[in-house]
């Protein structure tokens, strides 16, 4: 396993990190097997979040017997308010059963309001750093247009961006500035939230970047072995594989929502975003929680859609929003029928 310097944080992390979302769908025992396999394979970087169900608890239980010095544990929460942020940090420490979080990130900065709140709440993270509760501060960003706004704050040691061979523009935008500012770059969504099914292609794309650390979300030890092998073998994509990536990019480029929210608001009350990303959520989060929780209201809002197409005019990526909403609403009903 190769290790990468994560920018000015000086954290040395494995060439690929362990993403904590999919373990929500499996048992504590299965999650432990996945995490311990990842660690055996040399993965030292584990990323999770306050909002990933019981992911933090599963990680905490799995790493209890591992030498803490060998691991880089990252977690995150959205910048809500000062009290809640401080509580989230303490809660993560308890759930993860550790005394210090190596990297604490503001979760999902994707609009001006959240960005402003993050700036206002930075002193809370600095205070937590002084107290030794966290070691480094980062941010996760979804919209490409917010990447440089976040980098230009000069407040973060790492930035996590959505990057894969379908949305490769994120690398063009982030890398020059991140390298100049010595900010470590972490990539979420290497498989484009399920739009890329071929792990070989998805991870060979990352062989192009020595200083970007993709996170792999897996639900079985076999999957983590496969991804680590692709990266360890270090065999660049062949011309045929590059052509295949390009083909998938063309086919899926107008299906993958970049979460910029430019399509919002819908004057008829449809919650376009997050409806556009429902399938990607459904592939990773526990189905029962999804079809009985907040998503019910979100999907119900689709009934108000009059098919005017105004949202599609506002989407900079030309997504076929009406088609995606229709498919996702139907998919939601299909999943819901399993529990009602």
Residues lying near ligand SF4 in the complex (CB under 6 A):
257-263, 266, 268, 270, 272-273, 276, 305-311, 315, 317, 319, 321-322
Provide the minimum distance between the beta carbon of 319 and ligand SF4 in the complex, in angstroms, as a whole number: 4
Element (H, E) at 104: strand 101-109
The C-alpha atoms of residue 148 and residue 173 are separated, in whole angstroms, by: 7
User: Judged by CB, which is closer to ligand SF4: 124, or 329?
Assistant: 329
Nearest 5°: phi and psi at 88?
-60, -40
Nearest 5°: phi and psi at 332?
-60, -45
Provide the minimum distance between the beta carbon of 82 and ligand SF4 in the complex, in angstroms, as a whole number: 29
Provide the minimum distance between the beta carbon of 110 and ligand SF4 in the complex, in angstroms, as a whole number: 9
Provide the minimum distance between the beta carbon of 21 and ligand SF4 in the complex, in angstroms, as a whole number: 19
User: Judged by CB, which is closer to ligand SF4: 29, or 267?
Assistant: 267
In the Cβ-directed half-sphere of 235, how many Cα atoms lie within 13 Å? Answer: 9
- Bridge partners of 77, per DSSP, are 106
User: Judged by CB, which is closer to ligand SF4: 101, or 311?
Assistant: 311
Provide the minimum distance between the beta carbon of 316 and ligand SF4 in the complex, in angstroms, as a whole number: 6
User: Judged by CB, which is closer to ligand SF4: 23, or 270?
Assistant: 270
* C-alpha closest to that of 79 among 114, 55, 27: 114
Nearest 5°: phi and psi at 13?
-120, 155
User: Judged by CB, which is closer to ligand SF4: 121, or 260?
Assistant: 260
DSSP tag of 19:
E
Q: Alpha-carbon dihedral of residues 190, 196, 198, 200, nearest 10 degrees?
A: -30
Provide the minimum distance between the beta carbon of 331 and ligand SF4 in the complex, in angstroms, as a whole number: 16
User: Judged by CB, which is closer to ligand SF4: 105, or 276?
Assistant: 276
Report residue 193 as tokens: 């939230």
User: Judged by CB, which is closer to ligand SF4: 128, or 166?
Assistant: 166
Report residue 158 as tokens: 């790492």
Provide the minimum distance between the beta carbon of 144 and ligand SF4 in the complex, in angstroms, as a whole number: 9
Three-state DSSP at 248 gives: helix
C-beta of residue 77 within 8 angstroms of C-beta of residue 85: yes
Report residue 21 as tokens: 């979302």
């Amino acid at each position: 396993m190769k290790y990468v310097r994560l920018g000015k944080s000086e954290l040395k992390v494995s060439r690929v990190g362990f993403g904590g979302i999919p373990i929500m769908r499996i048992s504590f025992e299965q999650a432990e097997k996945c995490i311990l396999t990842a660690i055996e394979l040399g993965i030292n970087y584990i990323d999770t979040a306050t909002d990933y169900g019981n992911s933090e608890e599963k990680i905490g239980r799995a790493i209890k017997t591992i030498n803490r010095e060998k691991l880089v544990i990252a977690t995150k929460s959205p910048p809500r308010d000062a009290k809640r942020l401080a509580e989230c940090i303490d809660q993560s420490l308890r759930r993860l059963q550790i005394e210090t979080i190596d990297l604490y990130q503001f979760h999902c900065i994707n609009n001006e309001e959240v960005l402003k709140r993050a700036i206002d709440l930075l002193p809370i993270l600095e205070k937590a750093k002084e107290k030794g509760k966290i070691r480094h501060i980062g941010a996760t960003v979804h919209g490409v247009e917010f990447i440089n706004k976040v980098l230009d704050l000069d407040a973060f040691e790492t930035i996590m961006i959505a990057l894969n061979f379908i949305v490769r523009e994120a690398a063009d935008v982030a890398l020059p500035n991140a390298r100049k500012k010595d900010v470590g770059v972490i990539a979420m969504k290497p498989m484009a939230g399920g739009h890329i099914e071929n792990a070989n292609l998805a991870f060979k794309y990352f062989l192009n970047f020595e200083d970007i650390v993709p996170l792999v979300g897996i639900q079985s030890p076999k999957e983590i072995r496969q991804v680590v092998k692709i990266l360890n073998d270090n065999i660049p994509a062949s011309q045929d594989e590059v052509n295949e990536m390009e083909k998938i990019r063309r086919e899926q480029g107008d299906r993958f929502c970049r979460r910029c929210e430019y399509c919002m608001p819908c004057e008829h009350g449809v919650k376009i975003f997050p409806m556009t990303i429902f399938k990607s959520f459904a592939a990773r989060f526990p189905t029962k929680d999804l079809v009985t929780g907040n998503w019910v209201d979100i999907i119900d809002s689709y009934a108000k859609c009059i098919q005017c197409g105004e949202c599609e005019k506002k989407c900079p990526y030309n997504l076929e929003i009406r088609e995606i909403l229709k498919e996702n609403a139907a998919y939601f009903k299909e999943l819901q029928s399993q529990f009602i």
